Amino acid sequence: MRIPHFKISNTFKVTAIVLCGIIAGTAAYFAYTLRFHSYLGNDPSACVNCHIMTPYYATWAHSSHGRDATCNDCHVPHQNMARKYLFKGMDGMKHVAYYVTHSERDAIMAEDASAQVIMDNCIRCHTQLNQEFVKTGRIDYMLAKQGEGMACWDCHRNVPHGG
């Protein structure tokens, strides 16, 4: 049995190369324009690339957390690098979609997945305090949401972002 051999025309090859170049160029342009590279690091000023984050950045910078914690310390998971960058990418794309479609809220509220990450990170950073004094390390966000306890921000709403 003979396998048919397809010959690809030179016109098709040139067209494919040009289209790939246009797509790659457009992607590179948008990545540069949107400062995509700045989101890969840990610099909190990357969060103000989007104007809606400016007040949150300003209050964080003047809070006690502004001295010792970056946005990523609180807002992305730290179990492993793969989960960290997957979460960061997915959350970032969601923020871009809200921004591009003008559907962002006036006051940003963490969705359940983000709230769980934030609470896990409160507990992770304040482990000694949680174990010695308030014993909140046993509670996660979903339990608090169901009334089985309180989320950290129920009492400390203004701590990470000033007040």
Range of the domain at 104: 44-155
- Whole-number pLDDT of residue 83: 93
Average pLDDT for the chain: 82
146 in a structural domain: yes
12 in a structural domain: no
64 in a structural domain: yes
d(CA 76, CA 89) in angstroms, rounded, equals 10
- Identity at 159, one-letter amino acid code: V
> How many domains are contained in the chain?
1
99 in a structural domain: yes
- Whole-number pLDDT of residue 136: 56
CATH code, domain with 112: 1.10.3820.10
d(CA 58, CA 38) in angstroms, rounded, equals 18
For Cα atoms 138, 139, 143, give the angle at the middle one, nearest 5 degrees.
145
9 in a structural domain: no
163 in a structural domain: no
**Do 54 and 48 form a contact (C-beta atoms < 8 A)?**
yes
- Identity at 156, one-letter amino acid code: H
3 in a structural domain: no
Single pTM value for the model: 0.71
11 in a structural domain: no
